[in-house]
Amino acid sequence: MTIIYVDADACPVKDEVVRVAQRHGLEVNMVSNSWMRTDPDPRIKLVVVDQGPDVADDWIAERAAKGDIVITRDIPLAARCLDSGAIVLGSQGREFTQAGIGSALAMRDLNAHLRETGESAGYNAAFSKKDRLRFLDAVERSVQKALRGG
């Protein structure tokens, strides 16, 4: 059975994930370092992990398996989950793939270097209604893919 794992700290699309999961009767694990309000549906579970670097990532990566869906902005976590056969989406709706994860990791490292040297401010555009709609469509397609066994 497909399970959706959400790297929930600072995730702007939790409500969208819940909408799609409820439509398909899927379990969702919202994984966070702190308590947050979640939907009262018993299939929507809040998993609060200990504080610390990568604790939430480790929890997700240890459980995500083929046929599951992971929602994260964290590129190293995305790589780990792809290795386990999970479908991985960024919060903008972009699907991470084995073919593109190496480039994504390299760009992440380059951007970190540019921020450290002051050559980039690390600007992130505001999350728009169009972004939410694009994400909803991507999650729906990913759920369909997972349910087909892709």
Q: What is the CATH number of the domain that holds 119?
A: 3.40.50
C-beta of residue 57 within 8 angstroms of C-beta of residue 77? yes
Tens digit of pLDDT for each residue in 57-109? Answer: 999 999 999 999 999 989 899 999 999 999 999 988 889 887 766 665 566 55
Residue 69 and residue 84 in contact, taking contact as beta carbons nearer than 8 Å: no
Range of the domain at 46: 3-147
Predicted TM-score (pTM) of the model is 0.85
In the chain, how many domains are there? 1
Q: What percent of the chain has pLDDT over 70?
A: 84
CB contact set of 51 (below 8 Å; sequence gap of 6+): 33
Residue 126: Cβ within 10 Å count: 6
Confidence of residue 29 (pLDDT cuts 50, 70, 90): very high
Helix, strand or coil, per DSSP, at residue 5? strand
Q: Return the closest-CA partner of residue 3 out of 77, 85, 58, 79.
A: 85
Q: How far is Cα 150 from Cα 144, in angstroms, rounded to an integer?
A: 9
- pLDDT tens digits, residue range 35-55? 999 999 999 999 999 999 899
The pLDDT assigned to 98 comes to: 72
